[in-house]
Structure 1
């Protein structure tokens, strides 16, 4: 089926957006490791101190996986994009803005849970969930721009592909909000476990649900 005709708007290639995005994501994922600090060491107590830092390790893994999923989704999206507009550049910057916030709630969660103060634990987990949900909302905007402007896509990509991606991002925002609610109302550590599990699913579906064998055929990637 022939593509519809669209009003021409100024466009650019994707090279600079991809290079800039990769640089930002590399810096953000590196910042996470700065929160893995050596514990105070008492004679013969190093192992116990290291084990007591388990919230820090769990928060690090959750955020590392989340940023890895951002990179996988970003890479998969740009395999299908042939041109950029100003609106799409701003949508991409929105994704990077929210991603760059992740080291902050990661540090707060790890420190709050390590201190063992339940009210602070709940606030920190709620903030982490809020940032996580905001990131998926930024993906919704990014995918919405692509859905509204299929002329920016490679010819092999179906015009409705990013409608499904938009719904997937909406589900992600709801799931992070629900995980935060679980952490605030029950056990904060349970929310952390959910934060670790959610990126695993979204990593597997970074090319869309059709990439999973149970959902159908694979979509051809951009050469």
Structure 2
């Protein structure tokens, strides 16, 4: 009877994905809104607005980069939930971890923007290391997210190949490693190297938002039969 009771309790905590998706979309929309708050009107004398606006270019670059990053998170989130048919308490916590780390993005974005505008190399090294740390945490949260689904395939839609989320887990783990390396190199060697990695990784995760195996199908279409 004990095992049956545990099974009934587990089933009672399950639901469809609609509320989790709606909540996640709302959180990501707020994060995107927060990113723009770091773009400010310069406080300058009349006639000096244009050079002051141009001097804020790091803020524009940081905004575009982080907006694209949140967009990639949304695309990956949407693709993952398209393969999930039910949620449970553990899955909700894994999803909340992803949202928690994504919500941190506006802070390092503002720090990097400020450091680049002030042109202090020491501060730039610290800023890119902070951004790399948050990027690594974000990828770690996806690793936990995919690991949970890989171990609870009863939550996954029947049409999904069972190894799919194990492959996605490795894709996210690669980001943890690369962001960590970028942070170390940016702090010890050159901040611009880290910035280059920050641009390339979201592009990669955007291109593979349907799964790492989507790259194979793209390659097959490009090379022909």
TM-score, normalization by structure 2: 0.88
TM-superposed CA distance for 1:62, in Å, is 1.7
* Deviates further, 7-16 or 69-78: 7-16
Structure 1 or 2: larger helix share?
2
**Which residue in 2 is equivalent to 1:195?**
198
Paired with 1:47 and 1:188, the residues of 2 have a C-alpha distance of 27
**Aligned: 1:178 with 2:181:** yes
Task: Identify unmatched segments of 5+ residues in structure 1.
Answer: 1-6, 218-223
TM-superposed CA distance for 1:214, in Å, is 4.4
**Structure 1 outlier segments of 4+, above 4 Å:** 214-217
**Aligned: 1:123 with 2:130:** no
Which of 31, 35, 41 in structure 1 is aligned with 2:34? 31
**Which residue in 1 is equivalent to 2:165?**
162
- Alpha carbons 1:210, 1:216 under 8 Å: kept: no
TM-superposed CA distance for 1:44, in Å, is 3.9
TM-score, normalization by structure 1: 0.89
Q: How many residues align?
A: 211
**Aligned: 1:12 with 2:15:** yes
Question: Which has more radius of gyration?
Answer: 2
TM-superposed CA distance for 1:39, in Å, is 2.2
Which of 106, 111, 119 in structure 2 is aligned with 1:108? 111
**Aligned: 1:75 with 2:78:** yes
SS at match of 1:209: coil
Query: 1:172-201 CA distances to partner (integer Å, 9 max, x unpaired)?
Result: 111111222222123323322321221111
- Alpha carbons 1:62, 1:192 under 8 Å: kept: no
Q: Do the aligned partners of residues 208 and 99 (structure 1) sit closer, same or farther apart at CA in structure 2, a change above 3 Å counting?
A: same
Which of 20, 40, 54 in structure 2 is aligned with 1:51? 54
SS at match of 2:53: helix
Paired with 2:191 and 2:162, the residues of 1 have a C-alpha distance of 41
Paired with 2:50 and 2:129, the residues of 1 have a C-alpha distance of 30
**Which residue in 2 is equivalent to 1:3?**
none
